[in-house]
Amino acid sequence: MQRISGEELSRNLQKVKFKIAVMSGKGGVGKSTVSALLAVHYAKKGKKVGIFDADFLGPSIPKLFSLEKSRLSVVGDKLEPVLSTKYGIKVVSIQSLLPSPDTPVIWRGPLIAGMIRELLGRTNWDELDYLIIDLPPGTGDAPLTILQDVKPNGILVVTTPQDLAVAIVEKSIKMAEELKSAVLGIVENMSYFICPKCGEKSFVFGKGKAEILYRKYRLDFITQIPIDSELLKLSELGKIENFDTDYFEFFPY
């Protein structure tokens, strides 16, 4: 099979109206959860939605939608995405090509970059209102490939309230600026915890750190997502589509 060209990649995504990359220089901030919640937000509104899991070394999207054992099928010369159970969200992840959920991907950067182009360019996305791209941590091969080759309409930056997270996330914002990619705004995950017994709100990891970023770079502050036991439980069960709260209710895109 010949390597897919940039022209072929663009042509295969031409029916996708809006592409959003979910990014953070820091690992463990909940990019996959944010990607899934954003996809469900659009699906609940009746939009046609897809998710591309670009984190090949630690794919999490299949787990959130209980698709760990699902496999991509081939129809003609195209890959067919797997569909989420409740809303029919189209999901493509390297996990769906591996022999088992615990099989590691031990690849160097250039191979990952090439496979990202292959999967995006050979998948039958058809018409989509939104394609959500869940990026891995860092500012290396995978994010660079997405920002340069796919050219998303915008980037959603995810952080948590800790100083360390904010400092590393800032690198992603600067990367987006250097590559002339629009940052749609900042999502602060794990912002606070509300005690189920007394209702007290506790800022476990600190408060106001994300404000430093959106004021410094003049970005929109999209939403705060708390530490939520119900969200955690449904994520662990692979039933994130059943989570009722919509933290992106006022997301303007």
The predicted-structure confidence for 87-133, as pLDDT tens digits, reads as follows 999 999 999 999 988 899 999 989 999 999 999 999 999 999 999 99
Can you state the angle between helices 31-44 and 229-237, rounded to 10 degrees? 90
DSSP 66: T
For the annotated binding site for ATP, the residues are: 25-32
Say what percent of the chain tops pLDDT 90. Answer: 83
Return the pLDDT at 38.
98
Question: Which range has the worst mean pLDDT, 5-14, 36-45, 152-161, 222-231?
Answer: 5-14
CATH code, residues 6-237? 3.40.50.300
Q: Is residue 140 a contact partner of residue 186, using CB atoms and an 8 Å limit?
A: no
Asked whether the predicted pLDDT for residue 175 surpasses 60, the reply is yes
- Which residue do the tokens 């705004």 mark? 185
Task: Tell me if residue 14 falls in helix, strand or coil.
Answer: coil
Separation CA 161–CA 192 (nearest Å): 9
**pTM exceeds 0.85, yes or no:** yes
Cβ atoms within 10 Å, residue 245: 12
Mean pLDDT confidence for 179-203: 93
Binding-site positions: 25-32
What's the confidence (pLDDT) of residue 60? 95
> Percentage of the chain with pLDDT > 70?
99
Helices (H) and strands (E) in the chain, counts: 8, 12
Task: Give the angle 213-217-219 at the CA atoms, nearest 5°.
Answer: 85
